[in-house]
Chain A
Amino acid sequence: MSETSMVDFTYVILFLIGGLLAAIGPFVISNLLRPRVFNRKTMDTYECGMDPFGSAWDIRFGVSYYLYALIFLAFDVDILYLFPVAAAYDRVAGIRGAVEFIIFVLILSLAVVYAWAKGVFTWPKKKILS
């Protein structure tokens, strides 16, 4: 490893340590100063003042979130490949780089077209149970 990149890494690690210390420091001070008052409901989960009903960990949420996460995965990984391309773009001679770039992005955008055609972006109306 060259000296410059070692200095780079030292900066990053030192700043990470600094950030952690700056986050933990106020906690320590707060731990020394805080009051410790415990009433009957202090440690309860907050649910607008009512008694908490069940646990939040077995709650179910809409499947749409999962679909968005799936297209995101497909999309984001592909965009990662575009960043090195962008950095080396001016080293490719002529129009060839642009053509290859366009082909890649067109195939990439099929992900959005597919999801759109499949109806991921139309949220079904909630059925009201009578």
Chain B
Amino acid sequence: MMESLMPELIRMVVAAVLVVAFVFLNAMIMGYLERKLSAHIQRRPGLMEVGPHGILQLLIDGLKLIGKQLVIPEKSDHFLFRLAPVLSFAPVVLPFIVIPFSRKLVIRDLDVGLIFILAISSLNVLTILVAGWSSNNKYSLFGAVRSVAQNISYEIPMLLSLLAVVLMTGTFSLQGIVAAQGKIWFFLIQPIAFITYIIAGVAETNRAPFDLPEAESELTAGYHTEYSGMGFSLFMLAEYANMFIVCSIATTLFLGGWRGIPLPFGDYSGIIWFFLKVYGLMVFLVWIRWTYPRTRFDQLMNFCWKYLIPFALVNVLVTAVLVKVL
């Protein structure tokens, strides 16, 4: 028994190390892209000092954040305050298990893949509440309350839009869903589900125009106001990793996953297409963030309940009927 498991165990450890390394790398790439793109959108050069065009800036920032003092406010709940960033970072490596990067490159294709990702990513709400409550700071608590209300509301249109795809494919395995998109990508058949998913995804990752939990003009920094140094950077790492996961689900379910015009790299072209699509979507999210102003909180909630959920429900119904009729 143990003999046969040995190569599998080595594969697991290597995969875990690679994924953790990738989460850090992804945060650096996205941090750089976000700051550089926002700068160019606002017609300023942005990062220029450290390295050519400032590409080493994020490395220096990471080192600086490790060297910072960890301030734990006296009146906070000390245990939960320390626990929250760890809790927020630990689950973000789990969804990488089922994401199909290429035809053969998937760490483990669980047959409940999609539900697994949804279950893990909804843990995020809990950590935000823990962080906001344990800080004993008014900004943090209000940010956390808003964030919970927003995240649980937008989870419903997200689930409904994914449900429409599952109705068509009849499988939760992400590799199976990619295989079902051989002829046509699902964003052409399911445009409403795709748009709903992208909007809900922006809201789930707490990004502008839905960044009410971190609205800096009224709440300083929302739920992570009191965090400094490593605590703050773990929240940031988790946020960028969540962005990657949201975009890779969108790519897998709606944009054909690793499929694309064959490139002259053999089996590697799948990986290239996958990362091109995911980072294209992420740049799109950054573009949205720096283009649109923030919404008001009641507008945000009612947009979800009055428009997104009814549209998504009708979309699911129409899909269910069409699957049977056609």
Contacts and interface: CB of A to CB of B under 8 A. Distances in A.
B156 A75 contact: yes
Interface string B212-249: 00000000100001100110011000000000000000
A47 B8 contact: no
Contact of B145 (A12, A48, A61, A108): A61
Given A34-B69, A102-B320, A87 B166 contact: yes
Given A44-B74, A112-B309, A22 B93 contact: yes
Interface in A1-56: 7-8, 10-12, 14-16, 18-20, 22-24, 26-27, 29-31, 33-37, 42-48, 52, 55-56
B176 to A, nearest CB: 11
B160 A45 contact: no
Contacts of B317: 101-102, 105
A130 interface: no
Nearest to A36: B69
For the complex, would chain A's binding face be called helix, strand, loop or mixed by DSSP majority?
A: helix
A34 B69 CA distance: 5
Interface residues of B, number: 82
B136 A56 contact: yes
Nearest to B167: A86
Nearest to A72: B152
Contact of B320 (A27, A36, A98): A98
Interface in B120-154: 133, 135-142, 145, 148-149, 152-153
A121 B313 contact: no
A89 B170 contact: yes
Contact of A72 (B66, B86, B156): B156
Contacts of A95: 324-325
Given A34-B70, A79-B156, A98-B321, A86 B170 contact: yes
B90 to A, nearest CB: 4
Contact of B140 (A10, A26, A56): A56
Contacts of B91: 16, 19
Most buried by B among A15, A52, A61: A15
Given A68-B153, A121-B306, A46 B86 contact: no
A113 B296 CA distance: 23
B72 interface: yes
Contacts of B86: 20, 23-24, 27
Interface stretch (B12-20, B263-271, B272-280, B286-294): B12-20
Interface in A97-121: 97-98, 101-102, 105, 108-109, 112, 115-116, 120-121
Interface stretch (B29-37, B40-48, B107-115): B107-115
Nearest to B9: A10
A15 B89 CA distance: 12
A23 B148 CA distance: 23
Nearest to B238: A23
Contacts of B153: 68, 72
A128 interface: no
Contacts of B323: 89-90, 98
A15 B5 CA distance: 16
Contacts of B90: 16, 19-20, 22-23
Contact of A86 (B5, B23, B166, B298): B166
15 contacts: A8-B108, A18-B93, A22-B23, A23-B234, A30-B66, A55-B75, A56-B136, A75-B309, A83-B115, A94-B324, A101-B320, A102-B321, A108-B313, A112-B309, A121-B301
Interface of A: 7-8, 10-12, 14-16, 18-20, 22-24, 26-27, 29-31, 33-37, 42-48, 52, 55-57, 59, 61, 64-65, 68-69, 71-72, 75-76, 79, 82-83, 86-90, 94-95, 97-98, 101-102, 105, 108-109, 112, 115-116, 120-121, 123
Nearest 10 CB-CB pairings of A with B: A18-B16, A19-B90, A23-B89, A19-B93, A43-B74, A86-B166, A123-B298, A30-B230, A98-B324, A22-B20
